[in-house]
Amino acid sequence: MHGVKIIGITGGSGSGKTTIVRKISEIIPDFLFIPQDNYYKTAEYMNNKNITAFNFDHPDAFDTDLILEQLNTLKGFKPINMPQYDFIHHRRMEETVKIQPQKLIIFEGIMIFFNKQIRELLDLKLYVDTPDDIRFIRRLERDTTERGRTVESVIKQYLELVRPGHYEFIEPTKMYADLIIPEGGFNENALKVLIPFLQNINDNNQNKEM
């Protein structure tokens, strides 16, 4: 057995999931990070004027078959060619990145608990629980500064798709979490509990290799 452990981190858009990953990386550098965002389906017909033409906050927006295939491959300690996504043009890029397997994997994204087969691949499930207003502000800042979006398009998408999608598809998956973390990576007390646990997993994996 290869002993690969996959930690799943989910929560609404802007909840602080990537901040948790960054905090973990400051202490445990030896892990593989897989963002669910890389597995979005192409929607390059979208722009700021028709931003709701494709629903990025629906489970069907992701290439779930590819996610399952590649997570299973990594569980088998084999490399994958991970897709890359262009969020400015809303499309899957032609280039992929060859990823070598590691014993500790962090899989992060808004819908990773929705599919039962994906949930069953996760050895620890974390849900980041952050108030709506904070998540919206973070999303507004990110999309306007990093993804070429207008304030109007961000607000329209949030009201028509993001918020309804959160309460229909993301919030209910909280019930599957092993640990719920309020405020994500800004919750220092939760990180004090989580990081030693991950260190223990990492140390055990390294000891098995010796």
Q: pLDDT tens, 18-47?
A: 888 888 888 887 899 999 999 999 987 877
Residue 33 has a pLDDT of 96
Q: Strand, helix or coil at 77?
A: coil
All residues at 6 or more sequence positions from 76 whose CB lies less than 8 Å from its CB, including other chains: 2, 4, 101
Determine contact, residues 118/67, Cβ cutoff 8 Å: yes
Q: List alpha helices for 53-108, DSSP H.
A: 64-75
CA angle 49, 86, 5 (to 5 degrees): 130
89-115, pLDDT tens digit by residue?
889 999 999 999 999 999 999 999 999
Q: Among the listed ranges 26-35, 47-56, 158-167, 168-177, which one has the minimum average pLDDT value?
A: 47-56
User: Which domains does the chain possess?
Assistant: 5-209 (3.40.50.300)
In terms of residues, how long is the chain? 210
pLDDT band at 1 (very low <50, low <70, confident <90, very high): very low
- Angstrom distance (rounded) from CA 198 to CA 7: 9
- Angstrom distance (rounded) from CA 202 to CA 210: 13
* pTM, to two decimals: 0.89
172-193, pLDDT tens digit by residue?
999 999 989 887 667 778 777 7
Of 140 and 54, which is predicted with more confidence? Answer: 140
Once rounded to an integer, what is the mean pLDDT over residues 138-166?
91
Q: In this model, does residue 17 exceed pLDDT 50? A: yes
Determine contact, residues 68/142, Cβ cutoff 8 Å: no
**Strands 80-86 and 91-99, bridge-based pairing:** antiparallel
- Angstrom distance (rounded) from CA 157 to CA 161: 5
